[in-house]
Structure 1
Amino acid sequence: MVAAGEWRDYGISSLRDLAVFSVFRRTAEHPLYRIEKRPKLRQRQGQYSVVGMDGHILKRGADLKTVLRVLERKLIRSVE
């Protein structure tokens, strides 16, 4: 996504109970997406989640690869 020019910047944050990978279109903006890992949720909804710009959880699960598929669907565009 970075090579395609869709994402321009990213940030990584590691807190006590949370790790976050944030994706930005521009450095000064709010993140487009946040990929979060919350180990405490491992036995419940799943420890990985993709959160949109508005704060809504787009996908949550136990497997990172499965959770990241939501981003692939967002990047599919029709070719004319």
Structure 2
Amino acid sequence: MTGLAILDVARDGIFVFLKVSGPMMIVALVIGLAVSLLQALTQVQEQTLIYVPKIVAVFATLLITMPFMGDALAGYMTRIAARIAAGG
């Protein structure tokens, strides 16, 4: 396997990682920002208040995007297996 092929596989892997993890990270960011804004507006500075909404939202996002994540990871594995079968 040449250096160029290794870089191609690594770039594809990073792109798949970003596609799979992106929706959950964006939801966690938006929920965290909304709860922080609510805490600032109401002056309730309870640090544990942010965790429950964020966990529920990320879990719901995980359930909704599970088929997309499975397809993206299966496609990546298929491309890797095709490279292995082709000999590099």
Give the structure-2-normalised TM-score.
Answer: 0.29
More strand by share: 1
Give the structure-1-normalised TM-score.
Answer: 0.31
Q: Which has the higher contact order (CA 8 A, sep 6+)?
A: 2
State the structure with more CA Rg.
Answer: 2
More helix by share: 2
